[in-house]
Homo-oligomer: A and B are copies of this chain.
Amino acid sequence: MIPKAITGLQCHQCNWMIPADPFHYTCSKCGKNLDFIYDYDLIQKAWLKSDLLKNPDRSIWRYLPLLPVHHAPENTSLTVGGTPLVSLPKLSQDHHLSSFQIKDDTRNPSGSLKDRATELSIQHAREQGKDTLVAASTGNAGSSLAALTAYHGMQSIIFVPASAPPAKLTQIRQHGARLVPIDANYDAAFDLAFDWAKKEDQYSRNTGVNPILAEGKKTVALEIAEQRNWQAPDHIFIPVGDGCIISGVFKGFFDLLALGWIDHLPRLHAVQAEGSAAIVDSLTRGGEIMAVEADTIADSISVNRPRDGDKARRAILESGGTGFKINDIKIMEAQKTLASSTGIFAEPAAATAYAGFLQASAQGFFQPKDQVVVIVTGTGLKDIPAAQQGLGSIESVPADMALIEKYLASE
């Protein structure tokens, strides 16, 4: 077995180093978010790119030497990760690029990228001797936690605002998670879930605080690099709410650069909905991230106070990326354009990243040699009512061949 090369956890704010065991969610000195720190020399000595070629496991567990747990789970056959990197030569041509690809993370077990973080957090919880995971979520994180704890035979408790639409909770309830509908908003549910886990000595899978989650999410970057034969792209477009996904993507490429497996960081572009743009606004304005009153159709990135905002900002700035803001009409248009030009049906949040790419292209942002990747983080099937909003009504036609001919000719 390859030795575990975790040096410890470091606060991204005050740089304080703490050991990885016993585990802390946040900095024991200033309370800010932590990063896992690896001994890359040790990893380099024991793990080669060519080892990966021989590894038949397509799941995130093929990258175990770069993950902060001791073992892979006994059963990995459900296959979290290993999602397609879809090449789209026609779009590449249309936008005058050298290559255009979509990382289709709708193909995870519960339909979103969140499964990567959940899968790692479940194994981490198990190694910490815990059998119950707690989270606040009305969406992808909750359904991911419910699905994967069911698969791994663990328990989950999910705090939601009682006002959450019942359809959003159906997937969570089908998987048998314990649901706690709180008479309060999401921010309050978030804090209660965290406090509950602490009080009960259960594991917290609250997005944007626990550094394990970014470590799980970074596997999407490791896969993109490996699927591109270790040639990092020039640009990656990422939907941003709490900021945890872009932080994870950054961490993945950061690790690979430290290992010498890639030769540059891709520029990571944060795409936010206009109605929930706290992080992009802070880039434009400078200074601290300020909370907003979020209002957008892209519910997975609708966030008042980004819980991982500072690390997200660091990811954008250190990679040379930038920020884009997209209004809801453009988001809905991008959802349809994406589905009809690629076959990939994205949720509004994921379509937001594609809309950011379209906006960048229209602004002449790219060079002809550029290689671009858009990460599609979740499936459109989770929010059919949102997808219906962008479509007009349709008229029926009698069961008569001549009239059908006329109907089909009329467009």
Contact = CB atoms under 8 A, between A and B. Distances in A.
A33 B79 CA distance: 37
A170 B391 contact: yes
B343 A150 contact: yes
A121 interface: no
A184 interface: yes
A3 to B, nearest CB: 29
Interface string A383-411: 01101100100111111010010011001
Contacts of A246: none
Contacts of A182: 396-399, 404
B170 A339 contact: no
B345 A147 contact: yes
A58 interface: yes
A397 B180 contact: yes
Contact of A183 (B157, B170, B379, B397): B397
A190 to B, nearest CB: 11
A343 B75 contact: no
A175 B339 contact: yes
A397 B340 contact: no
A24 interface: no
A170 B396 contact: no
B381 A111 contact: yes
A68 interface: no
A50 interface: no
Interface string A151-178: 1110001000010001101110111101
Given A381-B379, A382-B381, A411 B174 contact: no
A176 B340 contact: yes
Interface of A: 58, 75, 77-79, 84-87, 89-90, 101, 104, 107, 109-111, 147-153, 157, 162, 166-167, 169-171, 173-176, 178-184, 188-189, 192, 195-196, 199, 335-336, 339-345, 379-382, 384-385, 387-388, 391, 394-399, 401, 404, 407-408, 411
6 contacts: A174-B335, A175-B340, A180-B404, A188-B399, A189-B399, A195-B401
